[in-house]
Chains A and B, each alone.
Chain A
């Protein structure tokens, strides 16, 4: 079977997402402060949940990432961990507006996230009591590789590491690089396992995994770039490639990913042991469990 063109479903996704946002807004405006009305909150949660799932599936990772954080807050309301307040409702209404803008820009094939939505994400995280969004600007050279995106004056280094498929064949070990990075500062790693095939289809010499790494912003960039997988450093184009965030979210195979600057970072902050373990993304590659 030839590869399915997911763009044929985009308009349906956009249309139903707009309807979902309308439903979210209407339900938010009906919410009273205090204990959340379960039916209203479920309506709001379901809409956000659908938008998150659809945007991740159809290649809009910024919308998925934004909606995921909003969904966390909604889940807190749904479970009773938080009570509804005027401030929470007002924030969520602004998030609905923010998502409308993101969908609109995505429909025009523009970057969905912008400074305003990043600021909203910071507010959501503050409401959740989690870390603010690390600021990331475009990677400097699309011809090189996944190396660290510029963190700017503040914020962590966000590193999208997408090795080429032949990395392992040439005697390189990504975990060696992680160990070297971990010596530079507190390293956080998330693995994307979307491209890992079933066991019977797997070539043991092919690298199917991509990683997102985060180091404190105080780490010097040149030290990061000297870290090596064995025969290649992070700045060596032969071993690595950049991936656009959209390609990662769709689970495109390593060969299908194009070399382009990583312009955004994922916000996973899960710590791992020196041996890289899958993050929650490992669930997206879960196979038939057989009961």
Chain B
């Protein structure tokens, strides 16, 4: 059975690239276009991996990660932050919220797949 990944990013082009790449590698993918939609999706189903942008409207990625971590089903689920922000403070903030990894844009599809496969492949 294929692994299920939740992709949360307010950029349609980024979601498109990530989803296309992951589906091409055999993963099942659910998209959400902001933090609030991502949280709702996580509440509805347990995903094997969450990929989350940081700067999003309605609810930013860090806040979404913090909320997802309160859900019992997500106690051990890896959550990767995808963002252009690479400063140490943001990373610490992400880690404190419960993120387990960080992939900084720009990344190419091969880098994305290599990281996802290492996490849940």
Q: Which of B20-65 contact A (CB under 8 A)?
A: 20-21, 24-25, 55-57
Q: Which of B58-92 contact A (CB under 8 A)?
A: 80, 83-86
- Do B11 and A50 have beta carbons less than 8 Å apart? yes
Interface residues of B (CB under 8 A from A): 10-14, 16-17, 20-21, 24-25, 55-57, 80, 83-86, 95, 100-111, 113-115, 118-119
- Given contacts A4-B21, A249-B106, A251-B108, whether A16 and B101 have CB atoms under 8 Å apart is no
- Do B17 and A53 have beta carbons less than 8 Å apart? no
What separation, in Å, do the CA atoms of A289 and B10 have in the docked complex?
A: 24
Known: A46-B57, A286-B86. 5 other contacts (CB 8 A): A57-B17, A251-B111, A284-B104, A286-B103, A291-B95
User: Would you call the interface of chain B mostly helix, strand, loop, or mixed?
Assistant: mixed
By beta carbon, the residue of chain B nearest A12 is B13
Is A280 engaged at the interface, CB distance under 8 Å to the other chain?
Answer: yes
The interface on chain A, measured as residues whose beta carbon lies within 8 A of the other chain's beta carbons, has a size of 40
By beta carbon, the residue of chain B nearest A6 is B17
Tell me, rounded to whole Å, the shortest Cβ–Cβ distance linking A44 to chain B: 11
Q: Which residues of B contact A285 (CB under 8 A)?
A: 111
**Number of A-B pairs whose CB atoms are under 8 Å?**
112
Q: Which of A271-291 contact B (CB under 8 A)?
A: 280, 283-291
Tell me, rounded to whole Å, the shortest Cβ–Cβ distance linking B108 to chain A: 4
- Do A9 and B55 have beta carbons less than 8 Å apart? no
By beta carbon, the residue of chain B nearest A20 is B11
- Do B86 and A283 have beta carbons less than 8 Å apart? yes
- Do A289 and B100 have beta carbons less than 8 Å apart? yes
Q: Which residues of B contact A194 (CB under 8 A)?
A: 106-108, 111
Q: Which residues of A contact B118 (CB under 8 A)?
A: 198, 287-288
- Do A287 and B25 have beta carbons less than 8 Å apart? no
Tell me, rounded to whole Å, the shortest Cβ–Cβ distance linking B59 to chain A: 12
